[in-house]
Amino acid sequence: MADFMNLIQLLISILLVVVILVQVKEGGGGLFGSASSTIRTRRGMEKTLFQITVVLAVLFVVISIISVRVG
């Protein structure tokens, strides 16, 4: 069971890194963005990527907690 949890955690972390890198690439404002990017609203693909990032981050934390409890 612990091996399965570690595999799931690894896959989620890889997906999380990929989604974050795609966001940075599409934003064009560098790693931390520009001041104007924090004011405007997210739309379309940018909003979807942001929501996927939040879901993956929450899943990563939940899987990490479960992994500690099981192991």
pLDDT per residue over 43-58, tens digit each? 888 899 999 999 999 9
Q: Are 46 and 19 in contact (CB under 8 A)?
A: no
Counted residue by residue, the chain has a size of 71
Percent of the chain's residues with pLDDT above 70: 77
Residue reference for tokens 């939940």: 62
pLDDT digits (tens, 9 = 90+) for 9-19: 999 999 999 99
* Token pair listed for 30: 């560098």
**The pLDDT of residue 42:** 73
